[in-house]
């Protein structure tokens, strides 16, 4: 029999609670929350049903019913099981359901086991990258005149040992077969599916070589992908002038859908929930630097484009977003796109204005964390400031 795919279930779990509740209940805004008459008590005169978007929670004080998430609400409202609720929610939010065609439960179990294997391979790779960074640090301490490129990167970013450990930062050695040998022949194909290994002209080799590694976690803290930043000779170019890309990232897989992940969310989730707002950054280094500077409500899109699904995910934790993008043209264009998308999803929005260096170079968030405290640039508590910032950034830039 066909089963709803796990990826579909994960997507539908992120459905906006407000959208689903409004399918049955007339809600009115009450501060940061929403209130309406109980969907379980037809005779109710005074509204006692509340939706708390920042916590992705609903509570009906007249019946005592309540819970977290759109699927949970649909189960209680319609009196159906989990799978039926998934189908109902999918219909409301217009999310296409994908099925895995299985003839029996054993095949479905096999699919789950395949995904677990992918998680384990990524976790093993993350540990090995971390070990390699430790070796580089120790080697540089022993040989003061020979500082490893990865250590130079750490020094440049001012990353502390605590930060390195917290974000599981690592180093991919300058070897063609390091991870390839680690996974062996048995797990070579799964590693290729994850993007850890590349195949070309009939030969396989490590995708990440001589790069500073940023493991990418999902909101549950599982390693789903990697980002690798080029080091020294790769950015300077070889004798023929060839330069490696500044960043390379894992491609999408059964456990990694780029548009569904926010870098750093597994670290920031509780802090964002308590604060009621987050800083939305552009890159890995921005988030790591912000957390190290004490601003642990920072997350980043895996790329420049914010997606609808990422907005829905964020809505579970907060109702305010402070955009803190790079100061270059691409970053500013992304900011303008983000404002429209965030406002459409019910967020209050503020923008951190990015200054320019004396030499004309555009400042990025990583620069700011090393110069002054970014939270002093803009305080997101005042809605008036947020709306003004959003309006000012919607204006088209003047032609030079």
User: pLDDT, tens digit, for every residue of 28-82?
Assistant: 998 889 999 999 988 888 999 999 988 889 999 988 888 888 999 999 898 888 8
- Rounded Cα gap, residues 213 and 170, in angstroms: 5
Is the pLDDT at 395 greater than 90? The verdict is no
Please name which of 323, 346, 264 lies closest in space to residue 56, comparing C-alpha atoms.
Answer: 346
Q: How much is the pTM? A: 0.70
pLDDT band at 387 (very low <50, low <70, confident <90, very high): very low
Is the pLDDT at 110 greater than 90? The verdict is no
Crossing angle (nearest 10°) for helices 6-13 and 105-142: 70
The pLDDT of residue 304: 63
Q: What is the mean pLDDT of residues 132-161?
A: 89
State pLDDT tens for residues 274-299.
899 999 998 899 999 999 999 999 99
Q: For residue 131, give the 3-state DSSP assignment.
A: helix
Instruction: Tell me the domain boundaries of the chain.
Output: 2-100, 114-256, 260-394
Q: Is the sign of the CA dihedral 89, 32, 323, 152 positive or negative?
A: negative
Q: For residue 21, give the 3-state DSSP assignment.
A: helix
Q: What is the mean pLDDT of residues 304-308?
A: 81
pLDDT band at 242 (very low <50, low <70, confident <90, very high): low
Please name which of 274, 376, 286 lies closest in space to residue 319, comparing C-alpha atoms.
Answer: 274
- Rounded Cα gap, residues 93 and 96, in angstroms: 9
Is the pLDDT at 105 greater than 90? The verdict is no
- Rounded Cα gap, residues 157 and 163, in angstroms: 11
The pLDDT of residue 199: 93
pLDDT band at 344 (very low <50, low <70, confident <90, very high): confident
Q: Which residue has the higher pLDDT, 32 or 226?
A: 226
How many CA atoms are closer than 13 Å to the CA of 248, on its beta-carbon side?
19
The pLDDT of residue 385: 37
Which one of 1.10.3720.10, 2.40.160.100, 3.40.50.2300, 3.90.580.10 gives the CATH number of domain 2-100? Answer: 3.90.580.10
The pLDDT of residue 361: 66
The pLDDT of residue 220: 77
Question: Which CATH class name applies to 260-394?
Answer: alpha beta
Give the C-alpha distances (Å, rounded to integers) separating 36 from 16, 21, 24, 49. 17, 10, 10, 5
The pLDDT of residue 302: 78
Is the pLDDT at 379 greater than 90? The verdict is no
The pLDDT of residue 396: 43
Cite the DSSP H helix spans in 14-59.
17-21
Query: Taking a C-beta distance cutoff of 8 angstroms, is the pair 38, 77 a contact?
Result: no
The pLDDT of residue 338: 93
The pLDDT of residue 2: 67
The pLDDT of residue 212: 98
The pLDDT of residue 391: 44
Question: Which CATH class name applies to 114-256?
Answer: alpha beta
Q: Which residue has the higher pLDDT, 142 or 356?
A: 142
Q: What is the mean pLDDT of residues 115-133?
A: 95
Is the pLDDT at 315 greater than 90? The verdict is no
pLDDT band at 241 (very low <50, low <70, confident <90, very high): low
pLDDT band at 225 (very low <50, low <70, confident <90, very high): very high
Is the pLDDT at 184 greater than 60? The verdict is yes
pLDDT band at 89 (very low <50, low <70, confident <90, very high): very high
Q: What is the mean pLDDT of the chain?
A: 84
Q: Which residue has the higher pLDDT, 271 or 361?
A: 271
């Amino acid at each position: 029999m066909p089963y709803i795919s796990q990826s579909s279930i994960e997507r539908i779990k992120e459905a906006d609670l407000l959208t689903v509740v409004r399918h049955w209940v007339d809600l009115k805004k009450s501060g940061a929350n929403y209130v309406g008459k109980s969907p379980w008590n037809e005779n109710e005169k005074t509204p006692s049903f509340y939706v708390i978007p920042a916590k992705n929670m609903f509570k009906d004080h007249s019946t005592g019913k309540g819970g977290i998430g759109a699927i949970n609400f649909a189960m209680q409202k319609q009196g159906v099981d989990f799978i039926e609720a998934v189908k109902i929610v999918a219909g409301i939010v217009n999310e296409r359901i994908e099925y895995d065609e299985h003839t029996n439960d054993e095949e479905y179990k096999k699919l789950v086991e395949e995904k677990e294997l992918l998680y384990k391979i990524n976790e093993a790779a993350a540990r090995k990258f971390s070990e390699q960074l430790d070796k580089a640090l120790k080697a540089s301490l022993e040989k003061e005149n020979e500082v490893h490129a990865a250590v130079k990167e750490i020094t440049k970013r001012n990353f502390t040992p605590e930060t390195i450990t917290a974000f599981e930062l690592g180093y991919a050695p300058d070897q063609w077969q390091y991870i390839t040998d680690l996974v062996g022949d048995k797990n070579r194909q799964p590693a290729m599916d994850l993007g850890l290994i590349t195949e070309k002209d009939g030969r396989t080799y490590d995708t990440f070589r001589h790069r500073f590694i940023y493991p990418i976690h999902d909101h549950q803290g599982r390693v789903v992908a990697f980002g690798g930043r080029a080091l020294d000779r790769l950015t300077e170019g070889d004798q023929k002038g060839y330069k490696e890309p500044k960043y390379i990232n894992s491609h999408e897989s059964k456990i990694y859908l780029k548009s569904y992940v926010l870098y750093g969310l597994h670290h920031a989730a509780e802090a964002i929930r308590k604060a009621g707002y987050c800083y939305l950054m552009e890159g890995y280094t921005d988030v790591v630097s912000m957390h190290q500077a004490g601003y642990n409500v920072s997350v980043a899109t895996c790329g420049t484009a914010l997606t609808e699904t990422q907005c829905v995910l964020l809505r579970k934790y907060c109702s305010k977003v402070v955009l803190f993008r790079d100061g270059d043209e691409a970053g500013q264009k992304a900011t303008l796109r983000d404002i429209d998308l965030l406002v459409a999803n019910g967020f209050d929005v503020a923008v951190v204005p990015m200054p320019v260096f004396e030499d004309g170079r555009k400042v990025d968030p990583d620069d700011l964390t090393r110069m002054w405290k970014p939270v002093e640039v803009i305080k997101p508590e005042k809605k008036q400031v947020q709306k003004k910032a959003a309006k000012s950034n919607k204006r088209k830039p003047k032609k030079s």
